[in-house]
Structure 1
Amino acid sequence: MKPRVRWLSLLAAASISLPLAIPSPARSFDSQYVNRREAKNIIFMVPDGMGLADVTAARIYKNGIDGPLLHFETLEHIGYQRTYSGNSTITDSASAASAWACGEKFNNGEICFHGDGRPNPASILELAKGMGMATGLVATSTITHATPAAFGAHVANRSCETEIARQYIETTRPDVLLGGGLSKFQPAKADPCGSSGDLIPRAMKAGYTIVRTKAELDAAVSDSACKLLGLFAMKGMTPDRLRTPGTSEPRLSEMTAAALGLLEKRRIGFFLMVEGSQVDWGNHANNVQYQVGETLAFDEAVKTVLDWIDASPERREHTLLIVSPDHETGGFAVNGPADRLLRPGEYVTAGWTTGGHTGSDVPVWGQGPGSSEVGRALNNTDLFRIMRNALER
């Protein structure tokens, strides 16, 4: 396999660190692994609210109009998925993530919890945990936000973030939890489910090492902490484009590397969900700089994962990687400029149809055992079955 080409230098353009465009790295694929349904590791990565036009805008800003692909675009298979929820043409993140995590349609606002009394299925994280695998959740929102919550909790209302935190600590017990949301573990008042109280002592009693800064995160990884709870902000983490030198918060790519470093020590394998939560927030704000910055920060996390996979033939053979937005946000379009070609460091002329979500189908990329199933027209519930089948041995 040819080594993946590393970016060589940075441009100081706008407020985002920008690698110079270089020839697109050719990534080779081992075809004998693609259709084998036996994954030791599953890594599920979510650029929340990202549509194909977002990919175009971020690629142009980073590499110019005819520059190389983003890292997640180099995965072997690409398909697309329908995103409607159990009760709406327009999904929210709760129902979309629940469809992935549990393989069934849920109503907007529900976190793997059927409000009509139907049994709540186990999530893919719970299935992996039951097989003895390590598990982890990473996000740049609160770690109790809708997308990570769907993999590690069952609640009727996505706003029950303290109850979600309680379930993490006392029920599903992921080995690694990294993101924002300290306020959800130490709430000033009860959430809509009635959960309240300081959960940090309970987390420590359950065996979690608590970290609040990048330095503490690095130290915990060096010490091989068995269970890790990283809460780096009271609410959501600082947008990547607004970070200042010396910030104590780790980047998404750094949290991803830390999670990989801890989870890979479980010999039987692991399940890891990583969310670039704030692509969605940039689109809600109709802010192209915010959206592009978060898309590129997410892509750097994908690069971290690809570097980790490519470092070992065994990892490459037995790691299923899926990259999937949950829905499109903003009705974003690339409207120009029409009179010239854009160069690296330039933003597209942006157009928007809404400040909310849309019902558009969204792409999905994949590589590794079982990933050929990604390369077609899908429903979002199909991704659960692809992951579950990959775990069957």
Structure 2
Amino acid sequence: MNISDSKIIDFVSLKEGGIMNKNIKLIGICALLLALPNVMAVIFVPSNANINNELSESENYQENHKEVKNIILMVPDGMGLADVTAARIYKNGPDEAPLYLETLENIGYQRTYSANSIITDSAAAGSAWACGEKFNNGEICYHVDGRPYNPSILEMAKAEGKATGLVATSTITHATPAVFGAHVKSRNCENEIARQYIEITGVDLMLGGGVVKFNSTKPDTCGTSGNFIAEAEQKGYQSVYTRAGMDSAVANGTVKLLGLFNNSSMTPEYLRISGTTEPRLPEMTSAALNILEKDRDGFFLMVEGSQIDWANHANDLKYQMGETLAFDESVKVVLDWTNASPKRKEHTLLIIVPDHETGGFAVNGPDRLLRAGESVTAGWTSDEHTGVDTIIWSQGPGSKALGRAVENTDLYGVMIKALEQ
């Protein structure tokens, strides 16, 4: 979507006709926008005719249109459909049970190109979801040319009174989580991203790697450095650095949590050793749900399996399989949580979508049936991102609009529509 394809809505019309009728205070939105660099008091709403028709008029959407309390976005970064095939065969065999992510109610696919390339990076792809526009590669919900940009879906959820959380196996300031809680010119501004999380956006829960991004004396690309851990603690966050610390925070009823479990990114699944103090992605996902669900207004949560992408960059099947299966375990955690209560399932929008595919991964053999526990023969066409479309799995109110071919920016429209309910 280009800016010329967008509809600009001022806050008066927004308040009268849409999301302002659902608990968002105008003063809160204005304060949020004024705190962010270069944000103007306008919102660009994707006006793709197809998706707007789906959201407002389609019978399918109306059939699945109920109040949304919780939005959960899960991102298997860099994963293609062949990754799913390989992991399923290894886990269950070729003709047995599907992976958990394959059991969701709707399946569609998205175009992934960015504003300046048919091959996106995670910054531009994530920004398309988070802020509803196409961005250049490297931009974190921020137009370097000075054009205004939308507040992110996380910021909009927070303005509506919902709890917010980010979980990742990379640094928590890496490109994908960053797009939901920051606006910066470059994905390399990780110290600045950490600062914005704490000082501006106020993300309630952050779990991942990246101690050095929150406590650095060396300025990043944006010129930012500082001890944002101490600042977070002054603002009421509890900081933890081990799985035991995280579990204790959950047990003690903590509502604002900064969990940093590695100086850099978290340890890959295939390199983990017995006795490690780092939590796994499924454990972080469970902790996030237990904390965020305490907010009676609901929550927005983004969970990223960051290192599926890195495994495909490395053309490493063992690495890839470990990360894919750990991500799928995290999907099970979410499904178990939603299925434990009819109200949760009825009022939770769950979307699972890779930002792009990496490596051109393919299952090439062997020329016989495999049993569970056996690995496929596989190959990659590159060690970089590709431009192929990626699968969207979804369920919950409004999700039928994603059960077809869409633009990645259309996910923003679906989530914004969910906030209006």
Judge same fold: TM > 0.5, yes or no. yes
Q: What CA distance in whole angstroms lies between the structure 2 residues aligned with 1:233 and 1:32?
A: 42
Contact in 2 for aligned 1:34/1:367 (Cα 8 Å): no
User: Paired residue for 1:361?
Assistant: 389
Shift of 1:241: 1.8
Matches within 5 A, 1:35-74: 35-74=64-103
Residue number in structure 2 paired with 1:235: 264
- Per the alignment, residue 323 of structure 2 pairs with 294
User: 2-side partners of 1:288 and 1:185: how far apart?
Assistant: 32
TM-score normalised by length of structure 1:
0.91
149, 167, 174: which one aligns with 1:120: 149
Structure with greater helix share of residues: 2
> Is 1:163 aligned to 2:192, yes or no?
yes
**Equivalent position of 2:33 in the other structure:** none
The correspondence for 1:196, drawn from 225, 235, 243, is 225
- Once residues 196 and 278 of structure 1 are traced to their aligned partners in structure 2, the CA distance between those partners, rounded to angstroms, is 26
3-state SS, counterpart of residue 216 of structure 2: coil
Mapped to 2, the partners of 1:269 and 1:128 lie a distance apart of 9
What SS class does the counterpart of residue 329 from structure 1 fall into?
A: coil
Q: CA deviation at 1:282?
A: 0.4
Distance (whole Å) between structure 2 residues aligned to residue 351 and residue 257 of structure 1: 34
Q: 1:285 touches 1:355 (CA, 8 Å); kept in 2?
A: yes
Equivalence for 1:3: none
Work out whether 1:214 is the aligned partner of 2:249.
no
Once the two structures are TM-superposed, the CA of residue 77 in structure 1 deviates from its matched residue by 0.1
Partner of 2:412: 384
Partner-residue secondary structure (3-state), 1:68: coil
Contact 1:43–1:319, Cα closer than 8 Å, also in 2: yes
The one of 350, 360, 369 equivalent to 1:321 is: 350
CA-to-partner distance for each residue in 1:5-39, whole Å, 9 max, x for gaps? Answer: xxxxxxxxxxxxxxxxxxxxxxxxxx999611421
Write the distance in 1 (CA, Å) between the matches of 2:369 and 2:281: 31
Q: 1:54, 1:152 → 2: CA distance?
A: 29
Task: Give the C-alpha shift of residue 381 in structure 1.
Answer: 0.3
> Structure 2 unaligned runs (5+)?
1-59
Counterpart CA distance in 2 for 1:346 and 1:307 is 27
Give the equivalent residue in structure 1 for 2:56.
none
CA deviation map 1:310-350 (0-9, x unaligned): 00011011000000000000000001112x11111111111
Aligned pair in 2 of structure 1 residues 34, 139: CA closer, same or farther (>3 Å)? Answer: farther
2:273 matched to which residue of 1?
A: 244
TM-score, normalized by length of structure 2? 0.85
Per the TM alignment, residue 374 of structure 1 is displaced from its structure 2 partner at its CA by 1.0
Q: Which SS does the other structure have where 2:207 is aligned?
A: strand
CA contact (8 A) 2:66 2:346 kept: no
Residues 76-117 of structure 1, C-alpha deviations (whole Å, 9 max, x = no match): 000000000010010000000000000000000000001111
Q: Quick one: which of 160, 174, 184 aligns to 1:131? A: 160
Q: How does 1:70-81 map to 2 (within 5 A)?
A: 70-81=99-110
Partner Cα distance (1:309, 1:207) in 2: 29
> Equivalents in 2 of 1:330, 1:32: separation in Å?
35
Q: Distance in 1 between matches of 2:61 and 2:139?
A: 39
1:65 Cα deviation from its structure 2 partner? 1.3
3-state SS in 2 of match to 1:204 = helix
2:129 pairs with 1:100: yes
2:341 corresponding residue in structure 1: 312
How many angstroms does 1:200 deviate by?
A: 1.2
Compared with structure 1, are the counterparts of its residues 360 and 86 closer, same or farther at alpha carbon in structure 2 (3 Å cutoff)? same
Match for 1:346: what amino acid? E
- Establish whether residue 375 from structure 1 lines up as the match of residue 408 from structure 2: no
| Alpha carbons of structure 1 residues 363 and 32: separation in structure 2 relative to 1, 3 Å | closer
CA shift for structure 1 position 188? 4.2
Q: CA separation in 2, counterparts of 1:388 and 1:32? A: 14
Shift of 1:226: 2.0
- Match of residue 86 from structure 1: 115
Q: Which runs of 5+ in 1 are unaligned?
A: 1-30
- Displacement over 4 Å in runs of 4+: 31-34
User: 1:334 corresponds to which residue?
Assistant: 363
